Amino acid sequence: SIRAAVAPGGRACSACVAGVWMKFFALLATAGHSPLVAWPAGALAEVAPLLEPGLVTDSKYIEVQGRLLRARGVRAWDQYGEPRTHVDVYDGNEVLPPGDLPDGLLHQLAHALDAELSETFEATAEFDAWSRLWRVGREPALHCQADALLSIVSELRSGRYLRQLFGVLYDKVTDVAWARTGINFGASMVDGDDDPIFLWARDLSERVLLFDGNAAGLRIAASKLEEGSASGRTFVAAVDTFVDPPGIESGDIGEVISRFIGERTDIIKVDIDSFDCAVLRATLLRSESAFIVLETQPIVPPPFKFARHYSPGYKRGVGLHGCSLSYQIQLLHPDYKLLLYTEHDTVFVHHSLEPHLEALPHGAVFPWTTHPLRFPVDEIDCYRRSRSSPHAQGEHPEVPVEFLREWALHLHPHRSFALLAGNLTAGSLDEVLYTFDL
């Protein structure tokens, strides 16, 4: 059976919103600030829709002490299950620390923005109860939430995010023996391609091992790294081959990793559009990594676990590929913890680095929010805050966002399991080995 109920709109009525912003103006006026509200330009609406848009307000522009700042409110729940609103204020693209803002402004903004957020919900009333039982993480994932002016997908996919993060870590976390090496499975680049670890590799690494079966694209990637290296010290080794788990675990590919990288590295990235988690599992037997970047299978929401498995007769392009967020967490727990999820990529961090990341100043790990990072991150909360586009899978032209909302936010997992299985396996997984489970 293939069906999905379209999620209720849930947006606040215009009269309610107007009342909220009259209150918002009054609050700012009493603080001596001149309010100015504006809405994002139409072109910015092209970003993929949020799975649960009611968890974040639209961007609001205010004038504070002669500066035009942008503010947004994000809904969160404290340890007692009580809702509250976290406010981020930006000067351009830079999130401002609370100490840089006038006294009382954040409290007043939170009070006004909370009224808007209290009107909008996508998840069912039962969602909070069952999600607490099925999740692995426990801490709010506000850093997985963006408004219409920022695409976390683009920040990660372009490489900007990991270059910024490693720049902070190399500078601030000096009691860790960083290797400044990395392994990139699926490193091919052609015109217009980007890669989550390319900028880190080009600007901050000392040694990078590239794998890809596309020889021409691999040469382009290696050339770009060598030509663009800021220090001129990045050594690039490119291996033209399709990787598989046996070759990594006990074959020539594994020997290359052991000789070139050794037992520890700073980052492993896997994006090979096939049995990605199987390749990662085999690689971790060879080399422990500080961070892992995995391509995500976005149409399988948590807590469902999907993974494509290796088989000698693997056919490229047939059926679903990769592995879902919950499968990744199950595979990596407890050695690695979820840091960030997007519809394209997921980032994990080695558990030994948790205290270091939690101790960094707010806004250092995630430049788009000052909300404090705490582990373990709630993967269901992170998923519900993410953006998603309709995705083509198997014989179906696309899986609509409305389907994801039903599976992830509206139905109990026991009820949605059969619906999800029917959509994902209809004629698309007959020739492949895979796991699909709760």
Summarize the confidence of residues 86-106 as an average pLDDT: 92
- Cα distance between residue 302 and residue 295, in whole Å: 15
> Residue 8: which pLDDT band, with cuts at 50, 70 and 90?
very low
Write the burial class of residue 133 (CB in 10 Å: 0-12 exposed, 13-18 middle, 19+ buried). Answer: exposed
Supply the mean pLDDT for the chain.
85
- Cα distance between residue 306 and residue 298, in whole Å: 10
- Cα distance between residue 242 and residue 24, in whole Å: 57
Q: Is the pLDDT of residue 26 over 70?
A: no
Give the residue with greater pLDDT, 318 vs 40. Answer: 318
Q: Is the pLDDT of residue 313 over 90?
A: no
Query: 109-123, 152-166, 301-315: lowest mean pLDDT where?
Result: 109-123
pLDDT at position 430 is 63
β-pair partners for 73: 87
- Give the other-Cβ count within 10 Å of 13's Cβ: 9
> Residue 25: which pLDDT band, with cuts at 50, 70 and 90?
very low
What one-letter code names the amino acid at 354? E
Q: Is the pLDDT of residue 407 over 60?
A: yes
pLDDT digit string, tens, across residues 31-72:
333 333 333 333 333 568 889 988 999 889 999 888 999 999
pLDDT at position 426 is 62
Q: Is the pLDDT of residue 1 over 60?
A: no
DSSP per-residue string spanning 193-205 = ---TTHHHHHHT-
> Residue 315: which pLDDT band, with cuts at 50, 70 and 90?
low
Which long-range contacts does 82-85 make (Cβ < 8 Å, 24+ apart)? 83/114, 83/117, 83/118, 84/110, 84/114, 85/110, 85/113, 85/114, 85/117
pLDDT digit string, tens, across residues 322-353:
999 999 999 999 999 999 999 999 999 999 99
pLDDT at position 400 is 86
The sign one gets for the Cα dihedral 279, 229, 178, 194 is negative
pLDDT at position 15 is 33
Taking the model in full, what pTM does it have? Answer: 0.88
pLDDT at position 23 is 36
3-state secondary structure of 177: coil
Q: Is the pLDDT of residue 269 over 90?
A: yes
Give the residue with greater pLDDT, 282 vs 45. Answer: 282
pLDDT at position 367 is 94
- Residue whose structure tokens are 């596309």: 214
The rounded percent of the chain whose pLDDT value lies above 70 is 84
The alpha carbon torsion through 302, 193, 91, 383 (nearest 10 deg) reads 0
pLDDT at position 125 is 84
Secondary-structure breakdown of the chain: helix, strand, coil percentages, each rounded to the nearest 5: 35, 20, 40
Give the residue with greater pLDDT, 9 vs 329. Answer: 329
Q: Is the pLDDT of residue 115 over 90?
A: no
